[in-house]
Structure 1
């Protein structure tokens, strides 16, 4: 129908009602969007007001530009809503404002490496979209909020190097999607909840250096995706759960500095083929090191002392990546000539820089293959054993040792004169042996030497001159 210069289109009644209602509601949508945007802005300003900002990192948080352009603030691609404040290493201190719970679109909070204090605001539990929470290396105290269980989409929960107290809440069992959890170096106490075994695909669990106790739950070995578990520096007792020692996905395993007892299973090297780090030091473990560990071809670190391990040390010849080898302070060896037969197998570890077998019962003469050790070797420690015979001159051909500890053995003969070639040597301890002859004058060439211990031997003659840097000559 036409009337003058105006045209009218006749719409069906339902369509007309929809068009009119949409036009009527449009201002409401705009108003609601503006209100929610203002909520995000006010929440950020509340965070700024609570925090101390000595370096002015939050100076851009003002009305000059929109909050989506403020330093460290990320907004969503479709809506101007805050999705992630990334405020790492900015020197911020003071508390975390509880208004952070009003940022309802947050998927990530990253406040690592600051000096934030007080508690984690329980209002964080309102953030139903939150997937990553990183509060590493601050001074946060108080307990872990139990209502964080509402953040059921969490994938990463990382709060190491803080001062958290109390127990690990069982309510966190709702984090079924959690892959990375770290409470490293806090003051948490109580037992480890068994719900960790119910997570669908966890990969990393770090509980090191807390006050946790009781036994390590058998359920921890249930998820086949777990590749790192470290519970060192706690008060755990009992034995290592067989489920963890059978978990083929595990690459890093650390239980050092606890009260763990029992022995290592014979098939240990067969059930953990991907092992990279194996740390069981400072416990009460007994029995032998299983020969099957020779199958750990990816091993980089082994730490097994102090414990009460005994028997023959197996071969470690198939470990090209091994750089840290420590079986210190056990009861390994029997004082016989075959005790050091494993040593030559370590010449295949071309990255080896730490060799520590001191404080055992290892006997026999030191093999000359020591001279074939990695050129990266820094620490060589065979102290407090039953090793006898001459010190191999091949040690003097090593390129980079900073420390040679060979004290309290039964070494005889003279100190090799080529020890003077070890230009990076800072500590040389040969005390309490049967060494004799004169002290090589070449030791005076060791300009980095700060400790030289030769007492309780049979040396005679003059003490060679040495640069004034030498702080201890005993």
Structure 2
């Protein structure tokens, strides 16, 4: 019954089919949980439920299927931990595929019970912990995929017995330590992906490591050596023993002096603690120094909130560039739009909580200010890190009246920005207390010197609602700010509650705008035509008719540079001369990205993609476009 349009839940009564030997419900639209009655299939050999919308935990009752040789639950929305009972099925000999779900926890030690398994795929989940040493007992394994999780620690030495491996993927985890040298002896190993971890030390040079096209170690900044084609730095040569002894004679006295100085400094610090709290704060770290500011300090830093320091105006207030003469610090000061009497005590506490949030793709809150201005009005502001490259809005829609040369983003840069925004949303959506952004749009996406994306205004809606609730009896105002026209989820306009699914809609619209160059509020979008419908009607055959012309021009410029390096073969491609291979790569990338944008911006919240799935698919799209992905054929059929 695979590859149909069946919907609804899998009937519990199906568990009555005690003599069933194979069941294939894959590539349908089934939802709900996998019924526990499926454990009644004691004669079952093969079970395929992949590519549906199944929810909940994997039922432990599957451990009753003692004759099961192949199980595929991939590309669903399953969560919870991997049941130990499942990994105790020694009958599994062909494949166990749990990829692209939302499974958490560690990979249980019972995985060593799969002694006859040929393929194990737990990739693209949220698994963590160390790789269990018992995995080395799976000596029949030929394909092992664990990429796209949060595994940490080193690759266990016990895996040296898995000599039959032909394909091994540990990429995009948090693994560390040395790359095991025993992998050189895996004669069957054809593909090895260790990219985007934290491995260090020398890369082996024999076995699979001799083939640059068969391995990937990018994204590990501490690696060295390997074959020349990898382009890694040379490893430092260890010094001789005599040289080390000589160094010790110098180092030991230095250490003794340093310890004495530290003790003296500690005594000095104890004396300083008796002085006033103000002086203590003055000598603290630079980060603590920017804990609070007064209205007068921010007024001076922004030259009286002058118009020439105005960076932008948004739903929540105005942003000014600030400069502190005392230490040369450049900051961005967001003055919140609050003109009400009375201070909100909870505001400073919440600002302190946001100040402690750390993520590469979130704007850093340096300080806060809750004070009274010179007119006696409530004044609240956030002091943020300054982003030299401005906002995404300025890059997508540059102003023609500026003296600067117009700036544009190429396809790779736009992919990186989209993935960074997805990372930021996923981080906040999966916090212990999920936080919705409520106003995701290009002007709230900022770029630093290295073009790394930083999403701003996360949690501002919560701050504003608390400030209003403290100072007013009109509670409806506390939820009045739910987004900007064109980006706000349709359910908010009908009084719906704020949720992370609203952010998914905004992200989808943002994605469509990034790659078409059209705002959702342009005059052409009227009489039932929206940006989403505009893109949807063009997919997949007319994508090049709607793509941002600036993006295509960038591809043309990059192609010219390639031509100068000796590339000759080219074809005409929608007013751009690029290669056939590049044409397919660009076109496939655009179709996939815009398809995700359409899926995220669905009218019904239930039909929108989950952010975890967006992050995974966007990474695959980028890797395939850049040619660094090592994903096996057919693993991502949904992108085609």
Q: Deviating runs (4+, > 6 A) in structure 1? A: 402-407
Matches within 5 A, 1:65-464: 87-179=1-93, 180-269=95-184, 271-293=185-207, 301-314=214-227, 327=230, 332-333=233-234, 419=566, 421-423=568-570, 446=577
Unaligned runs of 5+ in 2: 236-411, 413-554, 584-640
SS at match of 1:288: strand
**Alpha-carbon distance between aligned partners in 2 of 1:157 and 1:307, rounded to the nearest angstrom:** 34
SS at match of 2:55: coil
Shift of 1:296: 5.8
SS at match of 1:278: strand
Report the equivalent of 1:58: none
**Alpha-carbon distance between aligned partners in 1 of 2:209 and 2:562, rounded to the nearest angstrom:** 38
SS at match of 1:192: coil
Contact 2:190 2:208 in 1 (8 A): no
**Which structure shows the bigger proportion of residues in helix conformation?**
2
Mark the CA change 1:154 to 1:421 in structure 2 (over 3 Å): closer, same or farther.
same
**Alpha-carbon distance between aligned partners in 2 of 1:415 and 1:92, rounded to the nearest angstrom:** 49
Contact 2:199 2:223 in 1 (8 A): no
Mark the CA change 1:118 to 1:306 in structure 2 (over 3 Å): closer, same or farther.
same
Contact 1:150 1:174 in 2 (8 A): no
**Alpha-carbon distance between aligned partners in 2 of 1:203 and 1:189, rounded to the nearest angstrom:** 23
SS at match of 1:240: coil
Mark the CA change 1:165 to 1:415 in structure 2 (over 3 Å): closer, same or farther.
closer
Mark the CA change 1:267 to 1:120 in structure 2 (over 3 Å): closer, same or farther.
closer
Mark the CA change 1:303 to 1:406 in structure 2 (over 3 Å): closer, same or farther.
farther
Mark the CA change 1:424 to 1:131 in structure 2 (over 3 Å): closer, same or farther.
same
Mark the CA change 1:420 to 1:121 in structure 2 (over 3 Å): closer, same or farther.
closer
Contact 1:125 1:150 in 2 (8 A): yes
Contact 1:273 1:296 in 2 (8 A): no
Shift of 1:246: 4.4
SS at match of 2:38: helix
Deviations 1:410-437 (Å, cap 9, x if unpaired)? xxxx9975847231599xxxxxxxxxxx
Mark the CA change 1:232 to 1:415 in structure 2 (over 3 Å): closer, same or farther.
closer
Mark the CA change 1:252 to 1:404 in structure 2 (over 3 Å): closer, same or farther.
farther
Mark the CA change 1:312 to 1:197 in structure 2 (over 3 Å): closer, same or farther.
same
Mark the CA change 1:250 to 1:420 in structure 2 (over 3 Å): closer, same or farther.
closer
Mark the CA change 1:445 to 1:194 in structure 2 (over 3 Å): closer, same or farther.
closer
Mark the CA change 1:235 to 1:425 in structure 2 (over 3 Å): closer, same or farther.
farther
Deviations 1:166-185 (Å, cap 9, x if unpaired)? 11111224411112101000
**Alpha-carbon distance between aligned partners in 2 of 1:125 and 1:415, rounded to the nearest angstrom:** 58
**Alpha-carbon distance between aligned partners in 2 of 1:133 and 1:92, rounded to the nearest angstrom:** 17
Contact 1:260 1:285 in 2 (8 A): yes
SS at match of 1:211: coil
**Alpha-carbon distance between aligned partners in 1 of 2:206 and 2:559, rounded to the nearest angstrom:** 29
Contact 1:112 1:137 in 2 (8 A): yes
Deviations 1:369-388 (Å, cap 9, x if unpaired)? xxxxxxxxxx9xxxxxxxxx
Shift of 1:209: 0.7
**Alignment TM-score, normalising by the size of structure 1:** 0.50
Shift of 1:305: 1.2
Shift of 1:233: 0.6
**Alpha-carbon distance between aligned partners in 1 of 2:155 and 2:107, rounded to the nearest angstrom:** 14
**Alpha-carbon distance between aligned partners in 2 of 1:294 and 1:279, rounded to the nearest angstrom:** 11
Q: Which has the higher contact order (CA 8 A, sep 6+)?
A: 2
**Alpha-carbon distance between aligned partners in 2 of 1:198 and 1:415, rounded to the nearest angstrom:** 52
Contact 2:119 2:141 in 1 (8 A): yes
Mark the CA change 1:422 to 1:220 in structure 2 (over 3 Å): closer, same or farther.
same
**Alpha-carbon distance between aligned partners in 2 of 1:292 and 1:425, rounded to the nearest angstrom:** 43
Report the count of equivalent residues.
262
**Alpha-carbon distance between aligned partners in 2 of 1:126 and 1:447, rounded to the nearest angstrom:** 57
SS at match of 1:332: coil
**Alpha-carbon distance between aligned partners in 2 of 1:263 and 1:253, rounded to the nearest angstrom:** 16
Shift of 1:303: 1.5
Shift of 1:312: 3.2
Shift of 1:266: 3.4
**Which structure shows the bigger proportion of residues in strand conformation?**
1
**Alignment TM-score, normalising by the size of structure 2:** 0.38
Contact 1:252 1:275 in 2 (8 A): yes
SS at match of 1:101: helix
**Alpha-carbon distance between aligned partners in 2 of 1:420 and 1:278, rounded to the nearest angstrom:** 30
**Alpha-carbon distance between aligned partners in 2 of 1:405 and 1:287, rounded to the nearest angstrom:** 35
